Structure 1
């Protein structure tokens, strides 16, 4: 049985970033105690469900929002409740997302002492103008100090998050950010091509003509440079947006990509039990009210058809450098991969966009740059 992952959403932020379309709340820190009480009630309700009682959890991820707005004591209380009510593997990866502007070395050491063993810092850029564009609350110097403090605090598994292909960004500026990043020797780097989501302030600024997004050709140039640069510095490109030193791939994120079950707690959190995807209400008031009544805050669900499950398995497999495991696909869906998707994979292979490598079918070098288009073709 595949081991499960546990995600805990902490929606509170000092300030909502210009590009963010996640469920977050700025200026609401006074609601944190109420939220954590509701979170504890939700945990107890889910832990009583037979499906989650049968699972063994190997990862726990505090995401947001800005989880580092919680005190180490508050994080410790959540961890104690999780370990008391759910079944965990012997070696659990416990990740905390942190904003470099909301955490110091003393706080990091306390997080490490209560059981957090992987820290993920949302740096995004080492360029002051780019941080201002994104409306981040930290400076380049604060990000540098935070990464150094993480090591002093005892974190042996450190991730740094970055964004590229920002409006008006030059490749030279991006190269400087990457050079500063690798100089810090993190164990893991996430590098995301900025997605302009409708409804965000940055999208509105582009619509008004105040910002000019990069062209698809420029985005590809940035992506190609990122892959080459980080691979030259010893980081394996193991997923479209993720790079790791040997042995430091993000175990929690791998749960999402390999089809393992995962349980999400908190407002807007998503869960997956292998066949059904379900999610909580993205509204703090409604979340608190429902849990106060002893009810789950589940807002919706999607029961995946066989075709949907096959597509997701293939799509998430292709996002990984290793590709789609052929034997596992056949075992899971009772048919060889070559017979699925109306022969589209054969056409992709003939075009040189996917290749067989051992027991996997993966994207070719050219296919990596066309991942979204390729997956769209599989979706029909």
Structure 2
């Protein structure tokens, strides 16, 4: 049954306010934005931004989406689009207008951001001049901590010394490089635009210029053996010391092109693939710890020499997202802008809200979302995982977690997201299918 059938906007919003967040998460995975979300999003951001931030100094981050890429990598689940110089100019014009529309609102004026993250897409496709243009606009429109983290997602194929100098002179201090692997074979198979040699060159150049460097890697690629992984770890640990390394497991869902390719090329099931991921993860952790890294509860490793905890976590920060496909995740609601660049530009130029979807949340739902996202996206196999969640919850909200963690687990069992009859948190196939579909505007970084 269509949940909007014969219901007014007020009735829809009332029904949503009575649901737990896990149910909302489930609904948003199977209902198109043209249905209830377009009604729920009506004036959502305006209503939130019309009031001061209740948590003005606690994990507030700004996400800026640059949707353009030089090539489309096979593993990438995020929205990207081809570009021309004119398209980039039109997009940056719209981005600046969106900034102007929100920068003087009570919420933004009362907020101090601990981080800005330029994600994508591939922000490094911008020219040096355009990098300076948009970074200048951001730093002159929002308030940031003096010791804030200012990150720019990049790809070695589109980053050069001129752009690195532009980033440095503009005030950026962290670059996240999408390396994925140092194997020429796998880079070609994934249609990545860079080579291992270019990747090594850019890493060393960034270190020379004094950036905090994060290297994004993927393991569990189709056809990847432990020997291949050993080689990636050997190259990774040959540098002076990248400060952070993010190692993402390639999670493959059933009934997807990657799932079919796995069965065709390797003749193994997705269950066997996940077992291999666990084996690879154990090997990675042992190797990284032996090379002076320590591990967070997420896939991020920090080098003991000069490292600091990454300030931007899409699972537990208050995010204001700008640009096409950007997600906004705040205590009072969440939403996502138009994915299509032309739709986004048109909406901005016609003074329309660029949001394509969203939902208002009450305090209890916000609490539950915080815990649900950590269960789904963080390393829940840690023996003290619940205690870590409890500590992070207190840091985030300043109140005890109470029984909300257990309630969220029970909601997940009831929706058949996790298996019953076990103390371990084991995801069901149903949850993996939901994660393939859910449109919550999650930024492209953990």
User: Normalized against structure 1, the TM-score is what?
Assistant: 0.83
| Equivalent residue in structure 2 for 1:314, among 371, 380, 386 | 371
Q: Which residue is equivalent to 1:12?
A: 68
Q: Residues 115 and 201 from structure 1, CA distance in 2 versus in 1: closer, same or farther, beyond 3 angstroms?
A: farther
**How far apart, in 1, do the equivalents of 2:210 and 2:191 lie?**
30
1:330-364 residue CA offsets vs partner (Å, 9 max, x unmatched): 9767762378418869x99xx996xxxxxxxxxxx
Aligned: 1:276 with 2:276: no
Q: Secondary structure at the match of 2:282?
A: helix
Inter-CA distance 87–372: structure 2 relative to 1 (3 Å threshold)? farther
Corresponding residue for 2:88? Answer: 32
Give the aligned partner of residue 174 of structure 1. 229
Unaligned runs of 5+ in 1: 354-366
Residues 1:218 and 1:339: Cα distance change in structure 2 (over 3 Å) = closer
Residues 109 and 199 of structure 1: is their aligned pair in 2 closer, same or farther, counting only changes over 3 Å? farther
Aligned to 1:250: 310
**Partner residue, 2:322:** 265
SS of 1:295 mapped into structure 2: coil
8 Å contact kept, 2:181–2:217:
yes
Distance in 1 between residues matched to 2:408 and 2:276, nearest whole Å: 33
Do 1:94 and 1:116's aligned partners in 2 also have CA atoms closer than 8 Å?
yes
Q: How does 1:192-207 map to 2 (within 5 A)?
A: 192-196=248-252, 202=258, 205-206=261-262
CA contact (8 A) 2:337 2:354 kept: yes
Cα drift, residue 28 of structure 1: 4.0
Moved more, 133-142 or 21-30: 21-30
Q: Given that residues 394 and 401 in structure 2 are in contact (C-alpha distance below 8 angstroms), is that contact kept between their aligned partners in structure 1?
A: no
C-alpha displacement of 1:126:
0.5
Deviations 1:125-150, CA, capped at 9 Å, x for gaps = 00111111211011111111111111
Mapped to 2, the partners of 1:59 and 1:29 lie a distance apart of: 28
User: How far does the alpha carbon of each residue in 1:54-92 deviate from its partner, in whole angstroms, 9 at most, with x for none?
Assistant: 111111111111101112322222222222222222222
Partners of 1:298 and 1:66 lie apart in 2 by: 22
Indicate if the aligned counterparts of 2:128 and 2:162 stay in contact, CA closer than 8 A. Answer: no
Deviation of 1:172 after TM superposition, in Å, equals 1.0
- 1:288 to 2:345 alignment: yes
Q: CA, structure 1 residues 137+250, in 2 after alignment: closer, same or farther (shift >3 Å)?
A: same
Which runs of 5 or more structure 2 residues have no equivalent in the other structure?
A: 1-54, 380-384, 435-446
CA deviation after TM superposition for structure 1 residue 249, in Å: 2.1
Equivalent in 258, 278, 286 of residue 220 of structure 1: 278
User: Which residue is 2:182 aligned to?
Assistant: 126
Aligned pair count?
A: 356
Asked whether the 8 Å contact 1:126–1:140 carries over to 2, the reply is yes
Q: Does 1:43 align with 2:121?
A: no
